């Protein structure tokens, strides 16, 4: 549907424990987030996605939910969610929560009271591997049977063939939608239904994406089953019954772009948005990025809209992963994310050019190997961080909101200006994407009739032609306002948005 708010939106991921602490106990919380809504409005954010906020033993930091209908006491209470939704709305910001439907915590009462909600076998039935390593089956000593866990053993997988599981989740979705939550980011949206006969997964082959190949298996039966689409279609109907329709943003972690695009269904009957992980797994290199965007454009069904990210709480921060800490390159990456066709979603700290933090081994809290804690360190608000003894160590506080907010040349100011430009020039949010020929190392594209974006990710100065207009925004702010009449020259690690005349 054209006109849906999220097509024009810039989304922002908040990792609640690390965003802002409202009561000084070192753990970010909902009150802290509410206090920072002013900042998000100033930045121009339209919607926030919060990682899970529910009660959880925190083996996987909220992704092991023990009660889907309330709030983790570290983070606040139900009233705080209501206040957040209300106060965010007053600033034009919508709130998306994280839905974790693939598995619960082993401490969820369902695991003992409704064992039939989970996937069981009398003996290890197949070769399925857990994402966090080791076999995906664990012996439950109480019953003498094995249960499935695609992630940690403390995260038993639900059985999505069960109609009761489906109605429980319908209730969960409605509970939050009724409270004014604008939508859900859906955790492992590609994994819900398991092969009914529990057949083996396949060995990965040369044809698989390098990441899948490195894992050694192609998950065709433990994940990625076609039956999962049916669930997404049911949720779409449920979400569309609300006004405005609630958003389904999927973590469909599929790197084969055409297969990933199938999670949009026909383009309006499954996910509204899905994170584009093929881009995340590319290097910041013109040819690779261009290829992912071209394949995305070619694969999305009519009306479907992608969601661009460069960072999240799993993949690491873009300033480290893509740019090895080079802030000039990080500015190019941010300019790219905010000008491609689709909805960008920034991870808090991206707007500062923040890199991954350092977490000494004795402070690591993550269940996964290698630890994802470096990209989960607290948001630096001031030069001393603005935290008292945070749960994870503070990263580099030379990148902080206070300093960058008052500096017109900062990465934060660039991001804010890019977001404002999207509002001023509808072509930047809506316009069709069309490649512009460039020399090697560079990548340029036209958005609609009126805008050209060009990036030089190579090591040599390049000239792109013909472009006529004015540089509206540049990663090198000295070039803002520069007229372009014909050739556009770009230094290495430079990006520009040109308003064409």
Which residue in 265, 274, 192, 273 sits closest to 233, CA to CA?
265
CA distance 461 to 457: 10
Least Å distance between CB 275 and ligand GLC? Answer: 10
49 makes contact with ligand GLC (CB under 6 A): no
Specify the residue, 151 or 169, whose C-beta has the smaller distance to ligand GLC. 151
Judge residue 257's burial from the number of C-beta atoms within 10 Å of its C-beta, 0-12 exposed, 13-18 middle, 19 or more buried. Answer: buried
154 makes contact with ligand GLC (CB under 6 A): no
Specify the residue, 189 or 284, whose C-beta has the smaller distance to ligand GLC. 189
188 makes contact with ligand GLC (CB under 6 A): yes
157 makes contact with ligand GLC (CB under 6 A): no
**DSSP string of 413-458, one letter each residue:** HHHHHHHHHHHH-HHHHHSPEEEE---TTEEEEEETTTEEEEEE-S
308 makes contact with ligand GLC (CB under 6 A): no
The option from Ca ion, ligand GLC, none interacting with 41 (CB < 5 to 8 A, set by class) reads none
Angle at 413 between CA 412 and CA 414, to 5 degrees: 90
Active site residue 327: no
CB nearest ligand GLC: which residue? 63
**DSSP string of 354-368, one letter each residue:** PPP----GGG---SS
Least Å distance between CB 251 and ligand GLC? Answer: 6
**DSSP letter assigned to residue 349:** T
389 makes contact with Ca ion (CB under 5 A): no
Which residue in 288, 351, 348, 354 sits closest to 320, CA to CA?
354
Helix (H, G, I), strand (E, B) or coil at 12: strand
408-424: b or e for each residue (b if 16 or more CB lie within 10 Å)? eebbbbbbbbbbebbee
Specify the residue, 17 or 103, whose C-beta has the smaller distance to Ca ion. 17
60 makes contact with ligand GLC (CB under 6 A): yes
Among 46, 74, 187, 476, binds ligand GLC (CB under 6 A): 187
36, 386 contact by CB (below 8 A): no
Which residue in 38, 30, 39 sits closest to 401, CA to CA?
39
Judge residue 206's burial from the number of C-beta atoms within 10 Å of its C-beta, 0-12 exposed, 13-18 middle, 19 or more buried. Answer: exposed
373 makes contact with Ca ion (CB under 5 A): no
CA distance 30 to 74: 9
CB atoms within 10 A of CB 437: 8
Specify the residue, 74 or 187, whose C-beta has the smaller distance to ligand GLC. 187
The option from ligand GLC, Ca ion, none interacting with 25 (CB < 5 to 8 A, set by class) reads Ca ion
The option from Ca ion, ligand GLC, none interacting with 99 (CB < 5 to 8 A, set by class) reads none
Total binding residues toward ligand GLC, as defined by CB under 6 A: 9
Specify the residue, 118 or 381, whose C-beta has the smaller distance to ligand GLC. 118
CA atoms within 13 A on the CB side of 419: 23
List the interface residues with ligand GLC, window 424-443 (CB under 6 A).
Answer: none
232, 263 contact by CB (below 8 A): yes
- Which residue in 74, 138, 154, 251 is the catalytic one? 251
80 makes contact with Ca ion (CB under 5 A): no
The 3-state secondary structure of 146-200, one letter per residue: EEECCCCCCCCEECCCCHHHHHHHHHHHHHHHHCCCCEEEECCCCCCCCCCCCCC
Specify the residue, 240 or 314, whose C-beta has the smaller distance to ligand GLC. 314
- Which residue in 29, 58, 159, 187 is the catalytic one? 187
Least Å distance between CB 26 and Ca ion? Answer: 7
Would you give the end-to-end CA distance of the chain in angstroms?
30
Instruction: Give me the 13-52 binding string for Ca ion, x by CB under 5 A, dash otherwise.
Output: --------x-x-x-x-x-----------------------
Among 6, 19, 49, 63, binds ligand GLC (CB under 6 A): 63
The option from ligand GLC, Ca ion, none interacting with 60 (CB < 5 to 8 A, set by class) reads ligand GLC
Instruction: Give me the 247-266 binding string for ligand GLC, x by CB under 6 A, dash otherwise.
Output: ----x---------------
Active site residue 164: no
Least Å distance between CB 376 and Ca ion? Answer: 15
Among 41, 256, 295, 314, binds ligand GLC (CB under 6 A): 314
CB nearest Ca ion: which residue? 29
Which residue in 496, 491, 424 sits closest to 461, CA to CA?
491
Q: Are strands 247-250 and 202-203 parallel, antiparallel or unpaired?
A: unpaired
User: What residues are annotated to the active site?
Assistant: 187, 251
Contacts to ligand GLC by CB under 6 A: 60, 63, 100, 151, 187-188, 251, 313-314
Contacts to Ca ion by CB under 5 A: 21, 23, 25, 27, 29
């Amino acid at each position: 549907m054209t006109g849906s708010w999220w097509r024009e939106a810039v989304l922002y991921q908040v990792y609640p424990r690390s965003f802002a602490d409202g009561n000084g106990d070192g753990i970010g919380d909902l009150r802290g987030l509410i206090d920072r809504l002013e900042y998000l409005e100033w930045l121009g954010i339209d919607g926030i996605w919060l990682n899970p906020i529910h009660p959880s033993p925190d083996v996987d930091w909220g992704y092991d939910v023990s009660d889907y209908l309330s709030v983790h006491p570290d983070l606040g209470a139900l009233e705080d969610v209501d206040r957040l939704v209300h106060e965010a709305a007053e600033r034009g910001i919508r709130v998306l929560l994280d839905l974790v439907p693939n598995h619960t915590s082993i401490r969820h009462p369902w695991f003992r009271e409704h064992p039939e909600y989970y996937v069981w076998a009398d003996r290890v039935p197949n070769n399925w591997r857990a994402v966090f390593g080791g076999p995906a089956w664990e012996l439950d000593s109480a019953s003498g049977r094995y249960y499935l866990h695609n992630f940690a053993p403390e995260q038993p997988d639900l059985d999505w063939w069960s109609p009761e599981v489906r109605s429980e989740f319908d209730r969960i979705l409605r509970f939050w939608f009724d409270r004014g939550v604008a939508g859900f980011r859906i955790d492992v949206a590609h994994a819900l239904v398991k092969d009914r006969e529990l057949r083996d997964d396949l060995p990965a082959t040369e044809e698989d994406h390098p990441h899948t190949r490195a894992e050694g298996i192609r998950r065709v039966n433990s994940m990625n089953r076609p039956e999962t689409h049916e669930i997404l279609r049911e949720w779409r109907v449920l979400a569309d019954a609300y006004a405005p329709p609630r958003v389904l943003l999927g973590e469909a972690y599929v790197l084969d772009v055409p297969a990933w695009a199938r999670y949009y269904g026909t383009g309006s009957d499954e996910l509204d948005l899905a994170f584009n992980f093929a881009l995340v797994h590319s290097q910041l290199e013109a040819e690779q990025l261009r290829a992912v965007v071209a394949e995305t454009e070619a694969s999305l069904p009519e009306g479907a809209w992608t969601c661009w990210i460069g960072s999240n709480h799993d993949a690491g921060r873009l300033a480290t992963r893509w740019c090895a800490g080079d802030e000039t390159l990080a500015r190019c990456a941010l300019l790219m994310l905010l000008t491609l066709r689709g909805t960008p979603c920034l991870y808090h700290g991206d707007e500062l050019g923040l890199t991954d933090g350092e977490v000494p081994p004795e402070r690591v809290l993550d269940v996964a190997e290698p630890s994802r804690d470096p990209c989960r360190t607290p948001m630096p608000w001031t030069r001393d961080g603005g935290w008292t003894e945070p749960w994870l160590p503070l990263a580099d506080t030379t990148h902080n909101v206070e300093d960058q907010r008052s500096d017109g040349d900062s990465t934060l100011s660039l991001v804010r200006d890019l977001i404002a430009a999207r509002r001023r020039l509808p072509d930047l949010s809506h316009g069709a994407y069309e490649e512009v020929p460039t020399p090697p190392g560079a990548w340029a594209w036209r958005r609609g009739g009126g805008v050209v974006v060009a990036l030089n990710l190579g090591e040599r100065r390049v000239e792109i032609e013909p472009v006529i207009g004015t540089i509206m925004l540049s990663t090198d702010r000295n070039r803002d306002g520069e007229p372009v009449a014909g050739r556009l020259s770009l230094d290495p690690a430079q990006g520009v948005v040109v308003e064409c005349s």
